[in-house]
Amino acid sequence: MESPKLEGTSVLDNVVVVLYEPQNLVNIAGVVRAMKNMGLTRLRLVRPGEFDAWRIGGIAHRTEDVVEKTQIVDTLPEALADAIHVVGTTARARTAHRNYVRPRRLAPELAKKAAQGVVCLLFGREDRGLENEQLDLCHSVAIIPTNPDHPSLNLAQAVLLLAYEIFLALGGGEEELPRGKRSTRFATTEELEETYTALETGLHRIDFFKARRPEAILRTLRTVIGRAEPDIQEAGILRAMGYEMVKALDRALEGGEDRSKKGREEDGGGGVQRPGEDGSE
């Protein structure tokens, strides 16, 4: 069975983030922003240490829709009552055996379940995470892989990572990557050949090949440029570089000739006369 794809936001609307006794308003704001980044809009708080919608909105800009819908409840069972699946989170394995899983493997299953009902992602207090009593209410427990020497994550970071995996499992991030405003179609073979010719001519003029085999250098250039798959604008810039090598050298040579000619004219065309050449001392 394939994971359900993002069609509107109906599936993501069934993914609820639950924070158990969050202590810091800034952390709540960070969670709200992470949720908004990944298309999640439903947040439940169990006995938060503080909550101020106006301040949270000031920290997590343009997240008013998430903040306004935030539910505050007194007990964890109340926050999880409508869930068909609850995923707890922890940074370490506990003594009790639980259904531990990595977020990347868990996400496709959560996506399927979210298509059928509410799925809750449960996160604990900043200072000590979830205790066994809270984990007992979870169907599975996600452990986010981190550096073993420093496994603890900020609350918003943990929410973002888990939400990101679910977002991808639901088909998020599959849209075509943006192209630059000045990007154009790919260069044709004919246009690339003109570029290679211009570069070869320019390199010859600056004597680049004097100690190198031209065919080997040009073959490497073809390989590098071909790997880059330049568009016509990029190919044109490379082609212009070859042309400018030739033009710059021509200008330099012309400048040298002009200076030499001017010098000859200033000394009467006969060059500089050395002392004694006219018979005088």
Mark whether 79 and 150 lie in a shared domain.
Answer: yes
Q: Could you tell me if 156 and 19 lie in one domain?
A: yes
Do 153 and 212 belong to one domain?
Answer: no
Q: pLDDT per residue over 49-97, tens digit each?
A: 999 999 999 999 999 999 999 999 999 999 999 999 999 998 776 656 7
Domain coverage including residue 75: 12-169
Domain count, the chain: 2
pLDDT at position 268 is: 60
Structural domain contains residue 94: yes
Whether residues 63 and 157 share a domain: the answer is yes
Mean of pLDDT over the chain: 87
CATH code at 209? 1.10.8
Query: Is residue 76 domain-shared with residue 150, that is, in the same domain?
Result: yes
Cα–Cα dist 122/264, whole Å: 89
Q: Do 146 and 233 fall within a single domain?
A: no
- Using 70 as the pLDDT threshold, list the residues of the chain that sit under it: 1-9, 93-96, 180-183, 256-281
